[in-house]
Amino acid sequence: MGLKVAKFGGSSVSDAIQLAKVKKIVESDSDRRYVVVSAPGKRFNEDNKITDLLYLCKAHMDHNVPYDQVFQVICDRYTAIEVNLGLNINLQKHFDEINQNIRAGASADYIASRGEYLNAIITAAYLGYDFVDTAGLVQFDEKGRFLNGKTDDALREELAKHEKAVLPGFYGSYPDGTIKTFSRGGSDITGALVARAVDSEIYENWTDVSGFLMADPRIVSHAKPISTISYKELRELSYMGASVLHEDAIYPARAADIPINIRNTNEPEDPGTIITAEATQKEDTIITGIAGNKDFTVIAIYKNMMSSERGFIKRVLGILEDYEVPLEHMPSGIDTISVVVSNKKLDGKLDEILEEFQRKLQPDTMDVFENMSLIATVGSGMAKRPGVSAKLFTALYEAGVNIRMIDQGSSEMNIIVGVENKDFENAIKAIYHAFVGE
């Protein structure tokens, strides 16, 4: 095998016990030369993520509330990791510097990023690797826009100097050196950027699950694992709520044609899920996975001769844009369209949007269906199999689920159905059992 980049998520680096597993994994394969780490996550359900505690420090500071106790909890957590790993790093100087910067009014991005920063210092010392800070390497412009080319050049140049290195995930910097973070979960992106920069043969993303499952295990018990999945299929499932990997982490790896392997730190012998440009279609599996989300609103608009009216769809999209409400889906007929939006994004603007639709579109009728769920059945092999839609609709009919909306892309890689929230779990179970079995 060639060079590998291994990224370890928060649950994989939450304490000394987990970091011992990380070391065993890294040392078991000499090709794992570059490691990216998150901040320590939860050790148990009631525990706090370090990143959340750091944001809490910032909130306390902004409201003139003492944050010393919260900050001490953070320091104690890192000190315990250091002591239990038998290290002697002198973390206190880092604690003092961070505390001083918080008191001086440091940004939320800087404060939150210190979780990864401190953890990378500890992990590098524990593994005997070089510590390489991503500030100055992962680059953003003055407006906070990610600079893809400059980041790749900077990482390539710097990492060429290091045979083995640990890097903190989640953040980079503005041109003036000020810290800028990605969105939460952004360490996945850092890992992908590093993998591209060192021409890694594979990007390993280590977490607390053995890859992707064909359905949410909270709904379908004993859901089967997905051994291989394409980037396109993953994008479809991620968009509909399946979350193991930050979706923005896909693009650097995909552009460089680097497979991503989702692995389990607690079960390192499990092969996990391989994400590649083209997934290998299994003969016995028509679909790749099922995912969905609740709480959508569907606005069904009917207007006679709609198909002959120029600019109708443009006006619909313009109204949504004016109210900053993104469109999720828009199934259409000759004289009808259904506008599907997330309740969360709608944020109390429904009545105003309906008034604008009425004024600017002058529809014959307009119906609103609230408390709707969308469920996507995804698989690159579905287009080659006759009867897939019939099988799906029959399964829902037999389960007593009323389909309120159907949407299928031109690629035939997915079929999206809209059902009422109350039928969400039952619908997913019915689809899973129809295509996969018990």
Residues 189-219: tens digit of each pLDDT: 999 999 999 999 999 999 998 888 999 988 9
Q: Which domains does the chain have, with CATH numbers?
A: 4-208 (3.40.1160.10), 289-435 (3.30.2130.10)
Kindly report, residue by residue over 173-185, the tens digit of the pLDDT: 999 999 999 988 8
Please check the confidence at residue 350 and state whether its pLDDT lies above 90: yes
Exposed/middle/buried for 247, CB within 10 Å: 0-12, 13-18, 19+?
middle
Angle at 373 between CA 371 and CA 377, to 5 degrees: 170
Alpha carbon distances (Å) from 51 to 47, 70, 113, 142, 285: 12, 12, 8, 24, 40
Closest alpha carbon to 325 in 314, 317, 333: 317
Annotated binding site for ATP: 7-10, 207-208, 218
- DSSP label of 209: S
Helical segments of 160-206, H only: 187-197
pLDDT tens digit sequence for 155-173: 999 999 999 999 999 999 9
pLDDT band (50, 70, 90) for residue 284: low
Q: What backbone torsions phi and psi does residue 4 show, to the nearest 5 degrees?
A: -125, 145
State the pTM of this model: 0.86
Could you list the residues known to form a binding site, using ranges: 7-10, 51, 116, 207-208, 218
Q: Binding site residues for substrate, as ranges? A: 51, 116
pLDDT over threshold 60, residue 92 = yes
3-state secondary structure of 139: strand
